[in-house]
């Protein structure tokens, strides 16, 4: 992507069509697409995202939950054996687990400003690396995977996240579903993890406007 410097707080980026033909230019806000790299912030945001996705449904039974008799197995004294109050003790076969995992949420809080900075940093990194492509729109006449695959080859895309405006085109979504490493999200779904896991970021003009309005 060729960048032309505009005003001190803006830069211009070329816009292309899905057929890789020129379609004008658009202004990018330096405060969203021109920030320095912050690997520490990206790490925090990705950890926060992935922690929320963990199910946390793993569980083992403690002594009080194991099914079995509550009777004392043998007398406390006089047998010469180590005292034991239950056959459900952890050292016994089939006994309970000590400090085993319980159902819980792995999610943790993260400051909104850090989350916003992480998204702006991810966008800025793609722009700086030349892996940001801006298209006029992401729509297709037919939901044909072959047609979309050929179109993406014209743009040189093999691993890309496409972010559209408020809604996504249903034909584009259905066609992209069968192509490996090609994802499509609405602007409100833009997130650091999905941006980083694909090589190229493709934004529509509507997505640029919405992201800049959201993050400026």
- On whether both 82 and 111 belong to a single domain, the answer is no
Task: Give the pair of three-digit tokens for residue 11.
Answer: 């830069």
Strands 160-163 and 182-185, how do they pair? parallel
Strand 3-5 and strand 10-16: the pairing is: antiparallel
pLDDT tier, 6 (very low <50, low <70, confident <90, very high otherwise)? very low
Domain identity same for 80 and 161:
no
Task: Report pLDDT digits (tens) over 106-123.
Answer: 999 999 999 999 999 999
Q: Is the pLDDT of residue 3 over 60?
A: no
Q: Which residue has the tokens 């584009």?
A: 172
Q: What percent of the chain has pLDDT over 90?
A: 93
Residue 10 has pLDDT above 90, yes or no: no
Residue 8, pLDDT above cutoff 60? no
**For 4-13, 100-109, 145-154, which range has the lowest pLDDT when averaged over its residues?**
4-13
Residue 177 and residue 84 in one domain: no
Sorted by sequence, the CB contacts under 8 Å of residue 179 that are 6+ apart come out as: 145, 148, 149, 152
pLDDT in tens, 155-198: 999 999 999 999 999 999 999 999 999 999 999 999 999 999 99
Total domains in the chain come to: 2
Same domain, 12 and 114: yes
Does position 4 have pLDDT exceeding 80, yes or no? Answer: no
Judge if 195 and 143 occupy the same domain.
yes
Residues 137 and 45 reside in one and the same domain? yes
Q: Provide the CATH number for the domain around residue 205.
A: 3.40.1370.10
Range of the domain at 121: 3-54+107-215
Map tokens 């790299």 to a residue: 37
123 & 191 share domain: yes
CA 4 to CA 14: how far, in whole Å? 8
Q: Note the pLDDT tens digit of each residue in 41-80.
A: 999 999 999 999 999 999 999 999 999 998 999 999 999 9
Sequence-distant (≥ 6) Cβ neighbours of residue 97 within 8 angstroms: 60, 61, 62, 90
User: 140, 121, 129: which is closest to 182 by C-alpha?
Assistant: 140
How large a percentage of the chain has pLDDT more than 70? 96
Domain shared by 138 and 193, yes or no: yes
Average pLDDT over residues 148-157: 93
pTM of the model: 0.83
**Mean pLDDT over all residues of the chain?**
93
Closest CA to 148 of 173, 175, 177: 175
Q: Based on the domain organization, do 190 and 159 belong to the same domain?
A: yes
Residues 145 and 210 in one domain: yes
Q: Which tokens hold the place of 81?
A: 């054996």
């Amino acid at each position: 992507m060729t960048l032309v410097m505009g005003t001190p707080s803006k830069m211009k980026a070329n816009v292309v069509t899905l057929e890789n033909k020129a379609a004008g230019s658009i202004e990018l806000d330096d405060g969203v697409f021109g920030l320095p790299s912050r690997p520490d912030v990206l790490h925090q945001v990705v950890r926060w995202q992935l922690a929320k996705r963990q199910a946390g449904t793993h569980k083992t039974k403690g002594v009080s939950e194991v099914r079995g008799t509550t009777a004392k197995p043998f007398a406390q004294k006089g047998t010469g054996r180590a005292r034991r109050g239950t056959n459900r003790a952890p050292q016994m076969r089939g006994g309970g687990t000590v400090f085993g995992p319980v159902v819980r949420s792995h999610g943790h809080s993260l400051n909104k400003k850090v989350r916003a900075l992480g998204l702006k940093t991810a966008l800025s990194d793609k722009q700086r690396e030349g892996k940001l492509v801006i298209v006029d729109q992401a729509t297709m006449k037919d939901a044909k995977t072959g047609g979309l695959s050929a179109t993406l080859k014209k743009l040189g895309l093999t691993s890309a996240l496409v972010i559209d405006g408020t809604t996504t085109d249903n034909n584009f979504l259905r066609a992209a579903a069968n192509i490996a490493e090609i994802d499509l999200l609405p602007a409100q779904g833009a997130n650091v993890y999905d941006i980083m896991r694909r090589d190229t970021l493709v934004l529509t003009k509507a997505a640029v406007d919405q992201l800049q309005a959201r993050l400026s």
